[in-house]
Structures are given as structure tokens and as C-alpha cells.
Homo-oligomer: A and B are copies of this chain.
Amino acid sequence: MLGPGKADLLAGVRDTGSIAAAGRQMGMSYKRAWSLVEEMNAAFAAPLVQSSRGGAGGGKASLTEAGVRVLALYFRLLEKAETAVAPEVAELEALLKAAESDMSAGK
């Protein structure tokens, strides 16, 4: 119900104030971005994104309180996972061919 794509989209909505713009900066179609937002809003007890479908200028959108909270939880989750597995990542990297040791750079 929440993965990297949706989390990035939420962050994009927060930063751009627009679902279309958030999707665009991820190379996502307007339709796809809206569909993901609708999925998230349907999956959570409270909607994560509030929006007004706009006219000529396009609609405005922002995160709800629940959206802010979910996004913060997601980033905290990522950070804790990354910290927890750092030793294993380092061990795996040490087993790679020298030139291929770019796993932790996987961003």
C-alpha cells in the first residue's frame, strides 16, 4: 500500500502543491499520478492528499495531516532499515568485484 513510488509522489505533492507536477517530475503521466493518489486515499482511513481539480491552471493539492504523518513514518522506516542492515551491506559489498561496489550508492 506504500512503496518508493507512492512515497516519492507524496513528497512531490508536498513540494510542488500539485499532483500533476509531482507526477511529472517523476516521469509519470497525469493519469497515473492521480490513480496512485486515489489508491492511497482509498487505502488509508483518512485521505493522504487533498486536492481541487482545477480549471485552466490545473488543480492544487497538498498533504493532509495523515499524509504528513504517513510520509514521515515511511522515511523513518527507510532510515531505520538502512541503519540496521549497514553491516550486511558492507559485507556484501566486500564480496563484490572491486569495480562493482556501488550497492550502497543505489539511489
Using a CB–CB cutoff of 8 Å, the interface residues on chain A facing chain B are 1-2, 42-46, 66, 69-70, 73-74, 76-77, 80-81, 83-85, 88-89, 91-92, 95-98, 100, 103
Contact = CB atoms under 8 A, between A and B. Distances in A.
Contact of A77 (B44, B74, B89, B98): B89
Nearest to A69: B95
Nearest to A95: B44
A92 B96 CA distance: 35
Copies of this protein chain in the complex: 2
Given A1-B100, A92-B2, A84 B73 contact: no
Contact of A97 (B45, B74, B98): B45
Q: Which 4 A/B pairs are nearest by Cβ-Cβ distance?
A: A84-B84, A77-B88, A81-B81, A77-B85
